[in-house]
Structure 1
Amino acid sequence: MDAATKRIETGELTGINTLNPYLQGVYEPVKREVTALELEVIGEIPQDLFGGYYRNGPNPVHAPTALHHWFDGDGMLHAIYFENGKAEYRNRYLQTDDHRAEVAGTLDAGGILLPANRERSGTVYKDTANTDVVLHNGELMALWYVSGTPVRVNPRTLETIGNETFGGKLPRHVSAHSKVDGRTGEFVFFDYSLTEPWMSFGVVSANNELVNFDRVELPGPRLPHDMGLTENYLILHDLPVLMTETGLRRGTWNIRHADQPARFGVVPRNGRGDQVKWFETDSCYIYHVVNCWEEGDEVVMVACKMQPHGHRAGSEFGAYGPMVEVLSLHAVPVEWRMNMRTGACTQRQLDDRIGEFPVVNLEHTGYHSRWSYHVSIKSDEIRLLFDGLYKYDLLSGKAEEHMFEPGVYGSEPAFAPRVGATAEDDGYVITFVTDEATGRSEVRILDARNFSDAPVARVILPQRMPAGFHGTWAPGEAFVR
C-alpha cells in the first residue's frame, strides 16, 4: 500500500484532494512543531558560519476537504541556526489572525480556488503569511503573496511576535516579495488589490518608521508578483497576466494572459507615484527578480523570465490540472537595461537552463552583484521539483551546477557570508533537501567558491520537511544581542 492510498483509507486525505499532488510526497504537511538541539552532522559545520537559514511555506493545519491550492496552506517557518560549529532546528506555525481563526473554527475566508469573501475586512482570501520571509530591524517578517498582513517573528525562537503595522502607519497590506536594502536596512514594499487599477509602494526605515508611501495608477487591476530595488529607485511590474472579467465579477480566481506588452515602472523610492517612468518590453511574466542596480543612466534588472513550455497536466489530476500546469515553472535568467535618459529598454538572455527562486548575497540587494544562486527545476516532471542548484556569473551568464541525487529535491537556497568575508561570494550556500523515497530531510552546506564539490556538511533533520516557498539568511550579529 503506497503512502497516498494509506492516507486516503485513514481519512487524512479525502474526496477531491486524493487527486491533489501538492498534498502528497515531498509536499505532504507535517503535524509536529519541533525543537531539536542535538542534530546528527555528516562532515563538519564551519566555525565561521553564524546565523540562521529560514524557509517559509504552506502547511495546512487541518486536512483540506474542499478544493485546495498549494498556496493555501497555513504558514510554517523552518529554521536552522548555526553558531560555534553547532546547529539547532525549529519549525513553527505562523500565528496569523487567519491561522488562529482556522484552529478555532471561526475562519471566514477560504483559499484561492474558492469564491472570495468580499464582505470580510482585510483580504478576501485566507491570509497565511506563508510565502516569503525577510530580516528587518533585527526581526523576521513573514509575508503573503496576494498582499496581506506582515507578521513579525523572533529569529532565534521562531515564536510569533505579532502583526506589523509600522507604528500604526501601514495604510493597508504588504506583498510577499518586498525587499530590504542591503546597505541601509530600509524595507521597501508594494501592495496591490485584485480589483483596483493601481499599485502602491512604501519605504520603511531601518528603525521601522514608514517614511514614504504613494500609489502608481494602472490601466486596470494587475497581478504582480515581485518588484525591484536600486539605490534610488523601485521597479514595479505591470505584466500581462490579469484576472478575467468573469473572475472579477464572481469573485473567483480566474486568470488570463493578455495580448499586450509587459511594462516596468521605475519610480524614485522616496518620490511620488506620478514620477514613474514606464519601459515596455515583450509580453512576458516574471515571478522572481534576481537583483537590480544602477549603472550610469541605466537601471538594470535581472530576473527569471517565464518561457512557453509543453507541460500538460493529465486527467489524473482532475480539477487540479490547471493548478498543476501553472505551477510548472519554466523560466530563464534575463537582464533588462532601462535607460532613464533615452527611455530605451533592452534585454539579454543570460542562459537557456531552466531555473527559478534566485537569491544573492543579501548585502548586495539593490546594488551591483555578480553572483546569484538559483534552483534547477526538474524538466521531465510536471510537479515543481528542485533537483539541484546553479551558481550564475551575471556578467558572462555562465553557470556552475550542483545537482542532487535522483529523487532528492531541494528548497530555495540562501547565501551565508562567512564571518570576516572579503568578497561577494566568500561564504556558503545552504539549502534544505528531502529524499522523496525515504522521507528523510537534511540541510546541506556548500562552499560557494567550490560550488560543484560535495557539501562541507550535512545536518540531518528530526522529521521530514515539506517542499515550500522562499527563504532568507539572517546573520547572527544582526539579531543575537
Structure 2
Amino acid sequence: MTMIQTEFERDELTELNRFNPYLKGIYAPVRKEVTALDLEVEGEIPRDLYGAYLRNGPNPLNAPEGMHHWFDGDGMVHGIFFENGKAEYRNRYVRTRDHEAERAGTLDAGGILEPIRRERSALTTYKDTANTDILIHNGTAMALWYVSGQPVRMDPRTLETIRTETFAGRLPKNVSAHSKVDAQTGEFLFFDYNLYNPVMSAGVVSADNELKWFREVELPGPRLPHDMMITKNYMILMDLPVVFTEAGLRNGMWQIHQPKNQPARFGVVRRDGTGDVKWFETEPCYIYHGCNAWEEGDKIVFYACKMVDNGLPPNPEFGPYAPMAAVLALQAELHRWTFDMKTGQTTVEHLDDRRTEFPVVNLDLMGHKTKYAYHVTIPNTHTQVFDGLVKYDLESGNGIEHRFADGVYGAEPAFAPRVGATEEDDGYVITFLTDSATGRSEALILDARDFGGQPLARVELPQRVPAGFHGTWAPGDQIAVAS
C-alpha cells in the first residue's frame, strides 16, 4: 500500500512552528477525508463484533502561523465500523461553526496560546474545535471540546456532521469534554466551567434529547477541571488546584499554575438536580481522567488516574514550545477514592505504580460497579505517546499488559461487548496503532479475556491516524440512522 503524503511540508510551517513537536511525525495532520470499504485484514475479525470504534483528535485544517497548542487543531474523527467479519474506515472533520468559519476565511478566534478575543461571545472565548472527546447519545455521536464548546452531532457510521447541538435551544452555556452517558437510562450528564469566573455548571439531558435541568455551582475561584464522573444517583464534579495565574486572569492569557496548599475538592450532586452540593476534600492533586465510580451503601467509590511528576526538564529542542510539551507529557497512576456520604470522610488508596492513563470500561456499566478497566501505558518521554495497554482488575490493582512493538504507538482503546454477551469482559478491546517509522496505521482487535495473548485481527488502514485524544464504542444495534 502506498502511503498518502500527510505531513505539513516544511515550507508551510513558520520558523516558529518548526519547533513545535505536535505538528510533526505521528502528530502531523492528514490531508484527506477518506472512505475505505475493503480493508486488508491479518487474522480474522470476529463476526459477533458489531458497531464502530471512533476516535477524536486534533487535525489543523491550515498550517498555523502563530503559537499553536496541540488542543487548537480542528477536530477530526477516525472511525472503523465492523459488521459480519468485515470493516469500513472513514475519517471526517468535525464541522463546528468555527471550523466552517475558518474554511470561509471569517474566523474571529485564536488558539489558547493567544490572547482571548473579548469581543466574542463568552460561549466561544477561543476557537471551538470539538477535538477532544466523542460519545454516543440518542443514537448518534457527539464530539466535545475540553475548553468547553458547543457539542456537535455526527453520524456514527458515515461521520458526517449533522448539527451543532443545543438541546432544542435550551442549552444555557457550553458542554465540556468528558461529560458522560448512562447507558442504562440513556441520559447525558454534562458539566461546564468558566475560564475566568468562579462558577461551574452541570445538567442532565434525557435519552430523548430533552434538557431536564441545569444549575450553576459556585466555586472559590475560576477553575480548570477536566473530567467528571457519575453513579446511579449522583454526579461527581472536581474542583482541583490547577488554576490561571493572576497575570493570566488579568491579561486573558492561558497561563496556569498549581497553588500550594490548595486542596482538591470533589462535589457530589444529586442526578435529579435537587439539594446542595456535598464537598469532599483531599490533599492537593490533579486528575485528568476518571475511570469509573459507583455507590456501595452510604459510600461512593471513585477510580481515577492521579497525576505524578515525570521528572523531565523541558526539552530545549522544542524552543518556545518546551513549556507546553512539558505539561502535555502527562504521567499518572491508578488510585481509588472513597467518599462516605454519611460521615463526610474521604480515603485515598494508591493501587499501582505503573504509569497509565486514558482509562475506559465497559460503557454499559458506566456509573455502576465494574471489575475491569483498560488503560494505555505511557513511557516517560518528552511528548505524549502510548506504548501499550493494561487490563486492570480494579479490586486488586493487578493488571495484564499488552505491549506494542518498539516505535509503534496506540490510541485510547474502547471495549466492545460481544453480541449477546452476558458478562462484563466478554468482548473485545480495540485501538488504533501507528508505526512512527513508516507512518502505517492499523486497527488492533484483542480478545478482552485473553488480553496478553495474540491479537485476533489487525486491520490495515488506508492512511495514518495522527496521535490524538479520546475514543468510544458505538454499539451497532444502538446506532440510529441519522436524518
Tell me which amino acid in the other structure corresponds to 1:271: G
- The answer to whether the Cα contact below 8 Å between 2:7 and 2:28 also exists between their aligned partners in 1 is no
2:107 aligned with 1:112, yes or no? no
Match of 1:185 in 2: 186
Deviations 1:384-414 (A, max 9, x none): 0100000000000000000000000000000
Work out whether 1:271 is the aligned partner of 2:269. no
Counterparts of residues 43-62 of structure 1 (less than 5 Å): 43-62=43-62
Q: Distance in 2 between matches of 1:444 and 1:9?
A: 30
Q: Which residue of 2 aligns with 1:435?
A: 435
Q: Is the 8 A contact 1:415 1:473 kept in 2?
A: yes
Which piece of structure 1 moves more, 302-311 or 50-59? Answer: 302-311
User: Counterparts of 1:286 and 1:125 in 2: how far apart (Å)?
Assistant: 23
Report how far residue 314 of structure 1 moved. Answer: 2.1
Task: Give the SS at the match of 1:318.
Answer: helix
What residue is the counterpart of 1:3 in the other structure?
A: none
Distance of aligned partners of 1:241 and 1:86 in 2 relative to their CA distance in 1, 3 Å threshold: same
Query: How far apart in 2 are the matches of 1:8 and 1:435?
Result: 18
Pairing 1:269-308 to 2, within 5 Å after superposition: 269-272=271-274, 275-308=276-309
Letter in 1 for 2:206: S
Instruction: Indicate conservation of the 8 Å contact 2:372/2:394, yes or no.
Output: yes
Letter in 1 for 2:320: A
Verify the 8 A CA contact 1:182 1:366 in the aligned structure 2: no
TM-score (structure 2 length as normaliser)? 0.97
- Cα deviation 1:253-293 (Å, max 9, x = unaligned): 00010121100001111124x61111001100000000010
Summarize deviations over 1:284-341 as a string: whole Å, max 9, x none.
0000000010001101110000012211122111110110000011100100000000
Counterpart for residue 247 of structure 2: 246
Looking at structure 2, the residues matched to 330 and 312 of structure 1 have their Cα atoms a distance apart, in angstroms, of 14
**In 2, distance between residues paired with 1:45 and 1:61?**
33
TM-score normalised according to structure 1 size: 0.97
Write out aligned runs for 1:202-217 (5 A). Answer: 202-217=203-218
Q: Distance in 2 between matches of 1:382 and 1:166?
A: 41
Q: Is the 8 A contact 2:7 2:30 kept in 1?
A: no
Match of 2:177 in 1: 176
Structure 2: how far apart are the matches of 1:33 and 1:399? 37
* Cα deviations by residue, 1:351-379 (Å, 9 ceiling, x for unpaired): 00001000000000000011000000022
SS at match of 2:458: strand
1:10 Cα offset (Å): 4.6
| Equivalence map 1:247-396=2 (5 Å) | 247-259=248-260, 260-272=262-274, 275-379=276-380, 381-396=381-396
Contact 2:44-2:457 within 8 A present in 1 as well: yes
- What SS class does the counterpart of residue 321 from structure 2 fall into? helix
Contact persistence 1:15–1:65 (CA under 8 A): no
CA distance in 2, matches of 1:267, 1:369: 21
1:445 aligns with 445
Determine the C-alpha separation between the residues in 2 that align with 1:305 and 1:426. 28
- How far is 1:11 from its partner? 1.3
AA at the equivalent of 1:443: A
Shift of 1:206: 0.4
Residue 7 (structure 1) shift: 7.0
- Specify the alignment match of 2:3 in structure 1: none
Kept in 1, the 8 Å contact 2:199–2:218? The answer is yes
Alignment of 1:118-129 (within 5 A): 118-121=118-121, 122-129=123-130
Does the residue aligned with 1:446 lie in a helix, a strand or coil? strand
Deviation at 1:189, TM superposition (A): 0.2
Who is 1:103 aligned against? 103
CA change 1:7–1:309 in 2 (3 A) is: closer
In 1, Cα distance between equivalents of 2:7 and 2:468:
21
SS in 1 for 2:11: coil
Secondary structure of 2:58's partner? coil
**Residue 480 (structure 1) shift:** 4.9
1:9 Cα deviation from its structure 2 partner: 6.9
The unaligned stretches of length 5 or more in structure 2 are: 1-5
How many residues are matched? 474
8 Å Cα contact 1:359/1:415 also seen in 2? yes
Aligned residue for 1:11? 11
- What percent of counterpart residues are identical? 65
- The answer to whether the 8 Å contact 2:298/2:340 transfers is yes
Partner-residue secondary structure (3-state), 2:416:
strand
Q: Which runs of 4+ in 1 moved over 6 A?
A: 6-9
Report the counterpart of residue 137 of structure 2 in structure 1: 136
Q: Which amino acid aligns with 1:133?
A: I
Once the two structures are overlaid, the 10-residue window that deviates more, 45-54 or 98-107, is 98-107
